[in-house]
Chains A and B, each alone.
Chain A
Amino acid sequence: MEKMYAGVAVNVNEEGYLTDFSQWSKEVAEDIAKEENVSLTQRHWDLISYLQGEHKKESALSIRKVGKSGVVSIKEFYELFPTGPLKVSTRVAGIPKPASCI
C-alpha cells in the first residue's frame, strides 16, 4: 500500500514499514517518527545510521546486539524509543521489522 510522507508517496506494508528503502529520506523518517510520537535528536540519527548499516550487511538485529554496538546502551535505546526500541527505530530507519524475540 502507499502512504504519504513528507509530500511523497512511499510503499509500506500493513504494519507501516517501508518496503522499498530507496524511498527513504530524512524527511520521510521525520514524518514516521512524528506518527510514533518521537522527536528525532542527533542520538536518534546516530542509531538510525547504525541500524541501516547493519541491515545493509544483512545482519540480524536484536536488543542485545544494539546494546553491544557501542552506539547506544540498552537503557538509552529504550529512552530514545520508549514504545518499542527495535520495532519503532527500524520503522523510522526505513528497514524491515526484525523478527527477534530478544
Chain B
Amino acid sequence: MEVDNNKPVKKMMLVLSKATLDNVYACFILANGARMEGIESEIFFTFFGLEAVHKKKLESLHVATVGNPAMHMPTMLGGLPGMEAFATKMMKNEMEKLDIPPVGEFLEILAASGSRLWACKLAMEMFHYEKEDLIDEVEAVITVGDFYQRAQGEGTHLMFI
C-alpha cells in the first residue's frame, strides 16, 4: 500500500444524520477505527442521528426493511408487522459474532477511546429534546458553526453519513 506520509489524516469529523442501524454502525466503526489508528475523531449527531444518543431510543434502533433495495425483499413484505424487528435481530446476531458491540456499549467504547460526541442544536430544538434526554457521553449541544470551528487544522476530514 502506497502511503503519503507528508499528509496524514489527523482528524475525522463525522456527521451522523440517520438512525437506521447500518448507518449508525458505519459511523461508529469509522470513528472508533480512527482512534485505533491514533487519529482524532468526533461525531456530530443531527436530525434522526440524535436517536443514536437518545437514552430511551438508542437500544431500539432498527434496520430499514422498506426502501432498502439491498435487503432483496419486496417492499410489501418489508412493511409487514415484525419484519423490521426480525431483520434487526438477524443483523445483531451476525454482529455479535464479529465482536461488534451493541449501540450503548459502543458509545461507551467511543467515549473511553477519546472520541468526542456532540449534538446538533437545531435538531435538538426541532425534536424538542433536552440535553438530559441524551447519554452523558455527549459533551454538549453545539451549532454547525461550532462544529466547523472544531474541524479547523490541516489533515481534518469531514464525512456525512
Contact of A64 among B37, B38, B99, B114 (CB under 8 A): B99
Chain B residues whose CB sits within 8 angstroms of the CB of A84 once the complex forms: 36-38
The answer to whether B32 and A63 touch across the interface, beta carbons within 8 angstroms, is: yes
B29 x A74 contact (CB < 8 A): no
Within 8 A of A (CB), among B135-153: none
Binds B, one of A26-34, A40-48, A49-57, A75-83: A75-83
Across-interface contacts of B79 in A (CB, < 8 A):
none
A/B pair count, beta carbons within 8 Å: 42
Q: How far is it, in angstroms, between the C-alpha of A91 and the C-alpha of B33 when the chains are bound?
A: 18
Query: Looking at chain B, what size class is its interface with the partner chain?
Result: 10 to 19
Tell me which residues across on chain B come within 8 A of A60, comparing CB atoms.
Answer: 99
B100 CB within 8 Å of chain A: yes
Contact between A78 and B101, CB atoms less than 8 A apart: no
Which residues between 46 and 102 of chain A lie within 8 Å of chain B, taking CB atoms? 60, 62-65, 67, 73-75, 78, 82-87, 100-102
- The answer to whether A101 and B29 touch across the interface, beta carbons within 8 angstroms, is yes
- The answer to whether B36 and A67 touch across the interface, beta carbons within 8 angstroms, is no
Are A102 and B29 in contact (CB-based, < 8 A)? yes
**Chain B residues at the A interface, C-beta cutoff of 8 Å:** 29, 32-33, 35-38, 98-101, 105, 109, 112-114
30 A-B Cβ contacts within 8 A? A60-B99, A62-B99, A63-B32, A63-B36, A63-B109, A63-B113, A64-B99, A64-B101, A64-B109, A65-B99, A67-B112, A73-B112, A74-B109, A74-B113, A75-B113, A78-B35, A78-B112, A78-B113, A82-B38, A84-B36, A84-B37, A86-B36, A87-B38, A101-B29, A101-B33, A102-B29, A102-B32, A102-B98, A102-B99, A102-B100
Sorted nearest first, the 3 A-B pairs with minimum C-beta distance are A83-B38, A74-B112, A84-B38
